[in-house]
């Protein structure tokens, strides 16, 4: 879809120009391009870097969509489309806020740099090196990111930490080709079974602890006070059950759901495949098996450390008669924890309370926004993660949506935030 993402980048660039932003341009990265624009006329005032991404997750399974994923449809006050929440709808709210300020006030009260990338969903392959080679262009005092969600239409949320990610692809082979299961069944290795054996050794089925050697060595100990606060987060058992259709929560022994989500690392199989998977039966022993396995990591684990530990563990437990084993690291992201004592966070709190009618809850996010860690490392800035999605928006799922009311609350919050920074 390179042609489609390029078209989308052009579209964003045009919208930047229409909003009145300056210096609007498409910057090459070696992969999907980055769209950039700025407005730098508020001398003596801080510079806010706004971040978003125009790329989206694959819309499959297509047959579960009620309306076409790339033809937005509003039903019952909700806009349905792939990317409606993650992330087109959300960064667009900031763009509309800036357009409003520029066209109404004829000025912006702060300096703004707006960067929208196109590789977030594939792990931001080229983003880090792009930032590293554009430090001056991107220099700012704080970053504003809406790639998360509020708790409800009246309860805002600020994520003060994010999990990191190590996304791997494991491939095994033990035969030259698929062979007949009648002739060779009972005499040769079956890599589908071997892959299952490996996966079954990654997590304890009872305690749900990840069994990779040394996995928990560097996990940050959460203070009693923070634990208490997290445990009262609205990420409740009931919410998770309703949202996912699970009949019971399954997670790491000894921790409550919001703690497991934000402060504990975990491991999931995101996909696996071997042999014949179409309709009917094919009597083969497969020659290859593949699994996509990802690990969510928390401070002070690092992606390099966990990628190495995972790879070593898998190589240790795979039987020697498995001829071929490959562990690819498809993408990584570092975990991060923000310093919420800065005045930027105080401004965000005030603004969100005004728009939503309630003080924002501070919470840890289970997801990963790797750019936050990169910005901290390379530009030394924190990211304010104020989300205007809702928890049931169906990110990465069929029928992703964004509530129209939340979109307008996003525009309002963003407008007030920029104004408050200029006071």
Within positions 178 to 207, which residues make up the interface with its own copies, using CB under 8 A?
178-190, 192-193, 195-203, 205
Cβ distance to its own copies smaller for residue 125 or 379: 125
Q: For residue 55, indicate whether it is catalytic.
A: yes
Q: Quick one: tokens of 56?
A: 């989206």
> What does the angle CA 403 – CA 404 – CA 408 come to, to the nearest 5 degrees?
120
Residue 61 beta carbon to its own copies: minimum distance, rounded to whole angstroms: 8
Residue 413 beta carbon to its own copies: minimum distance, rounded to whole angstroms: 22
Cβ distance to its own copies smaller for residue 76 or 321: 321
* Residue 167 lies near its own copies (rule: CB under 8 A): yes
* Residue 284 lies near its own copies (rule: CB under 8 A): yes
Contact 35, 26 (CB under 8 A): yes
Binding residues for its own copies restricted to 68-107, rule: CB under 8 A: none
Q: Pick the closest to residue 41 from 13, 22, 28, 15 (CA basis).
A: 22
Binding residues for its own copies restricted to 5-44, rule: CB under 8 A: none
Contact 117, 143 (CB under 8 A): no
Q: How many residues bind its own copies (CB under 8 A)?
A: 99
Q: Cβ–Cβ contacts within 10 Å for residue 47, how many?
A: 18
* Residue 172 lies near its own copies (rule: CB under 8 A): no
Cβ distance to its own copies smaller for residue 127 or 261: 261
Binding residues for its own copies restricted to 300-329, rule: CB under 8 A: 319-321, 323
Q: Report the residue from 124, 156, 286, 360 that binds its own copies according to the rule CB under 8 A.
A: 286
Residue 396 beta carbon to its own copies: minimum distance, rounded to whole angstroms: 5
Cβ distance to its own copies smaller for residue 43 or 279: 279
Q: For residue 120, indicate whether it is catalytic.
A: yes
The kind and range of the H/E element at 56 are none
Q: Report the residue from 23, 57, 312, 358 that binds its own copies according to the rule CB under 8 A.
A: 57
Single out the catalytic residue among 38, 55, 119, 226: 55
Cβ distance to its own copies smaller for residue 52 or 366: 366
CB neighbour list of residue 283: distance below 8 Å, 6 or more residues apart: 180, 181, 182
Contact region for its own copies (CB under 8 A) — 56-64, 90-98, 137-145, 218-226?
56-64
CB neighbour list of residue 245: distance below 8 Å, 6 or more residues apart: none
* Residue 240 lies near its own copies (rule: CB under 8 A): yes
Q: Quick one: tokens of 139?
A: 């220099």
Three-state SS at 94: helix
Binding residues for its own copies restricted to 364-423, rule: CB under 8 A: 365-368, 391, 394-398
Binding residues for its own copies restricted to 264-283, rule: CB under 8 A: 264-266, 268-278, 280-283
Three-state SS at 337: strand
b/e code 285-295 from CB counts within 10 Å (16+ = b): bbbbbbbbbbb
Residue 32 beta carbon to its own copies: minimum distance, rounded to whole angstroms: 12
* Angstrom distance (rounded) from CA 98 to CA 410: 12
DSSP structure class, residue 221: P
* Angstrom distance (rounded) from CA 330 to CA 401: 28
Q: Pick the closest to residue 77 from 409, 415, 414, 395 (CA basis).
A: 409
User: Which residues are marked as active site?
Assistant: 55, 120
């Amino acid at each position: 879809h390179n042609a489609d993402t390029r078209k989308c980048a052009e579209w964003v660039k045009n919208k930047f120009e229409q909003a009145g932003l300056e210096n609007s341009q498409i910057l090459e990265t070696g992969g999907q391009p980055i769209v950039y624009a700025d407005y730098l006329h508020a001398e003596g005032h801080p510079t806010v870097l706004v971040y978003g991404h125009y790329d989206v997750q694959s819309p499959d399974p297509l047959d579960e969509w009620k309306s076409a994923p790339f033809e937005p449809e509003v039903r019952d006050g909700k806009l349905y489309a792939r990317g409606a929440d993650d992330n087109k709808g959300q960064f667009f709210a900031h763009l509309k806020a800036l357009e409003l300020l520029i066209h109404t006030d004829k000025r912006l009260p702060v300096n703004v740099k707006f960067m929208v990338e196109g590789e977030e969903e594939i792990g931001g392959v080229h983003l880090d090196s792009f930032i590293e080679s554009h430090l001056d262009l991107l220099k700012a005092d704080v970053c504003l990111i809406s790639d998360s969600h509020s708790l409800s239409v009246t309860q805002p949320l600020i994520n003060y930490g994010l999990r990191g990610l190590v996304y791997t692809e494991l491939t095994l082979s033990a035969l030259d080709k698929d062979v007949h299961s009648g002739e060779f069944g009972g005499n040769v290795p079956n890599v589908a079974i071997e892959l299952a054996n490996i996966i079954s050794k990654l997590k304890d089925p009872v305690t749900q602890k990840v069994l990779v050697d040394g996995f928990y060595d560097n996990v940050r100990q959460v203070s009693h006070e923070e634990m208490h606060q997290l445990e009262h987060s609205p990420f409740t058992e009931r919410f998770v059950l309703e949202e996912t259709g699970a009949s019971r929560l399954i997670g790491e022994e000894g921790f409550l759901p919001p703690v497991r989500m934000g402060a504990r690392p975990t491991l999931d199989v995101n996909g696996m495949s071997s042999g014949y998977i179409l309709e009917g039966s094919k009597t083969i022993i497969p020659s290859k098996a593949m699994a996509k396995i990802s690990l969510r990591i928390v401070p002070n684990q690092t992606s390099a450390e966990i990628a190495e530990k995972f790879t070593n563990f898998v190589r240790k437990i795979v039987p020697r008669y498995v001829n071929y084993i490959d562990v690819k690291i498809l993408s990584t992201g570092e975990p991060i924890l923000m310093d919420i004592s800065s005045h930027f966070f105080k401004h965000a709190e005030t603004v969100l309370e005004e728009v939503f009618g309630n003080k924002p809850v501070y919470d840890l996010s289970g997801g990963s926004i790797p750019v936050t860690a990169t910005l901290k490392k390379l530009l030394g800035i924190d990211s304010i993660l104020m989300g205007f999605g809702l928890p049931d928006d169906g990110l990465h799922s069929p029928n992703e949506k964004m509530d129209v009311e939340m979109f307008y609350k996003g525009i309002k919050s963003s407008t007030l935030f920029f104004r408050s920074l200029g006071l």
